């Protein structure tokens, strides 16, 4: 299965321009035969937590979600997008959604680990564990940005059966070891493929790293981007995770009862 990752500069609160960028990328990726396009964290509204919280009318969110579904459907490609969501209790959270090629929602997820003062001022953390769905024959899950830096989040997805983890992110310049080292370690220790799609350029005074990556279940680098806008592609072998888990059975040989006695 061919994955496509959008690495691009988003315009803060210019929803129309950002949606056009997603549509153009989806059209190009579908033309290359990609099954899914993964876009960065909060890309349709731009990554600027305080500005988004103060300047975005939440009544517009259903229309943006409908636009994302229309992009998936019109281009015949699965799509991962990230937007704010407002809970029944009025809390703002960062969410990600996986759509199928017909625009139907397969999976939604709320960000559990918020990064930095801006995110914590604008959003509340979610609490649900990563869920898993069948996407084109591959058990697939979602987490968001900082979540993937915690081994517990990735391991929870793997224990639930995930063999592919899709990660919209907004990683700033200066954190190069996250995509170059940590992501590959996460993929290796939980023996799944991780696709990590980042912003690039500057948004609201933050300079983003780029550096989007796809890491395989053996920790190998399947694809990696530099710092410029691009569409990144990687082929995912549907049998790779199962082979790695047979070769070195990390998941089967865990001892969670023992770990609890250690306070974990």
Cβ neighbour number for residue 206 with a 10 Å cutoff? 18
Residues in the chain: 264
Query: What are 207's two structure tokens?
Result: 């300079």
| Residue 253 designated active-site | no
Cα distance between residue 61 and residue 153, in whole Å: 27
Cα distance between residue 5 and residue 210, in whole Å: 11
Cα distance between residue 139 and residue 243, in whole Å: 15
| Residue 145 designated active-site | yes
SS3 237: coil
Among the options 41, 119, 203, 244, which is catalytic?
41
Among the options 8, 19, 65, 111, which is catalytic?
111
Instruction: From residue 117, give the alpha-carbon distance in Å to each of 58, 173, 191, 226, 237.
Output: 22, 17, 32, 27, 39
Sign of the alpha-carbon dihedral angle for 31, 37, 40, 44: positive
Burial of 263 (0-12, 13-18, 19+ CB in 10 A): exposed
The residues pairing with 221 across neighbouring beta strands, listed in sequence order, are 215
Cα distance between residue 108 and residue 96, in whole Å: 6
| Residue 111 designated active-site | yes
Taking the alpha carbons at both ends of the chain, their separation in whole angstroms is 36
Cα distance between residue 178 and residue 149, in whole Å: 8
Cα distance between residue 175 and residue 182, in whole Å: 10
Among the options 19, 145, 200, 206, which is catalytic?
145
**Residue numbers annotated as active site:** 41, 111, 145
């Amino acid at each position: 299965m061919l994955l496509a990752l959008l690495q691009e500069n988003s315009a803060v609160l210019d929803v129309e321009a950002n949606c056009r960028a997603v549509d153009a990328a989806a059209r190009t990726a579908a033309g290359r035969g990609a099954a899914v396009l993964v876009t960065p964290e909060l890309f349709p509204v731009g990554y600027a937590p305080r500005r988004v919280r103060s300047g975005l009318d939440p009544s517009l969110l259903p229309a943006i979600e409908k636009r994302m579904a229309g992009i998936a459907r019109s281009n015949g490609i699965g799509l991962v997008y990230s937007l704010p969501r407002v809970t029944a209790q009025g809390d703002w959270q960062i969410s990600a959604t996986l759509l199928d090629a017909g625009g139907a929602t397969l999976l939604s997820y709320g960000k559990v680990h918020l990064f930095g003062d801006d995110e914590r001022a604008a959003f509340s953390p979610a609490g649900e564990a990563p869920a898993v769905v069948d996407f084109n024959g591959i058990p697939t899950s979602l987490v968001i940005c900082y979540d993937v830096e915690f081994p517990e989040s990735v391991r929870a997805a793997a224990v639930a059966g995930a063999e592919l983890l899709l990660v919209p992110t907004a990683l700033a310049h200066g954190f190069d070891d996250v995509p170059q080292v940590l992501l590959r370690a996460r993929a290796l220790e939980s023996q799944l493929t991780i696709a990590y799609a980042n912003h690039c350029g500057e948004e609201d005074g933050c300079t983003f790293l780029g550096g989007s990556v796809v890491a395989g279940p053996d920790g190998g680098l399947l694809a990696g981007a530099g710092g410029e806008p691009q569409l990144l592609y990687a082929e995912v072998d549907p049998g790779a995770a199962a082979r790695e888990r047979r070769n070195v059975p990390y998941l089967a040989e865990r001892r969670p009862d023992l770990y609890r006695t250690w306070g974990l």
